[in-house]
Amino acid sequence: MNEVQTLPELEVYDVGQINNLVQIMREGYLKTPVYVQFVLGILGGIPATIDNLVFLLNTAKKALGQFQWSVCAAGRHQFPMGVVNMILGGNMRVGLEDNLYISKGELAKSNAQQVEKAIRIARELGLKIASSNEAREMLGLKGLDKVGF
C-alpha cells in the first residue's frame, strides 16, 4: 500500500481493534493520517448506538491522534447513525451494500438515491458537500489519472 500510495479504509467493528491499529502504525505498516471506518450494528460487532459511536470516536482520537473517519451502520441504522456521524465531523457513507431501503418499508432504487438523501440531510444541517475532487484532496488521494490501471 505504501509503495503505490494507497489509502486503506481501516474498518473498526469494536473498540479493541483501535489498539490493533495503533500497533500496526507503530510497526510502520500504516502512514498517518489514517482513514477509519467505524462499523456498527453488524453481527459480532459493537451495536449501532450514539453512545457506542462517541465511545469509539473518543477512544480513537486519544489513541490515533488526527485521522479521517466515517460510519458504516447496517440496515435501519444507516441514516440515523450517518446523521450523528456528520454532526460529529465524520464523512457520510451510504449504499445498498449496507442498507437496501431509502426509508422504512421503501426499497431504494439505487445507491444514487441514497447519496441524494444524504446530501439533502447534510444541506439541512448546514454542512458543506465535498465534490469528488475535494474529497480526493481531503483524503490525500492521488486521483484517477495516476492510479495506473
DSSP code at position 125: T
SS3 104: coil
Per-residue pLDDT of the chain (149 residues; tens, 9 = 90+): 888 778 899 999 999 999 999 999 999 998 888 999 999 999 888 999 999 999 999 999 999 999 999 999 999 999 999 999 999 999 999 999 999 999 999 999 999 999 999 999 999 999 999 998 898 888 888 777 777 66
pLDDT value of position 149: 62
pLDDT value of position 11: 96
- Give the span between the Cα atoms of 30 and 48, in whole angstroms: 27
Q: Which residues pair with 36 in a beta bridge?
A: 10, 69
pTM recorded for the entire structure: 0.90
Q: In the chain, what are the domain boundaries?
A: 9-140
Summary count for the chain: helices (H), strands (E)? 5, 5
Class of domain 9-140: alpha beta
CA 68 centroid distance within chain: 8
HEC profile of 1-67: CCCCCCCCEEEECCCHHHHHHHHHHHCCCCCCCEEEEEEECCCCCCCCCHHHHHHHHHHHHHHHCCE
pLDDT value of position 18: 97
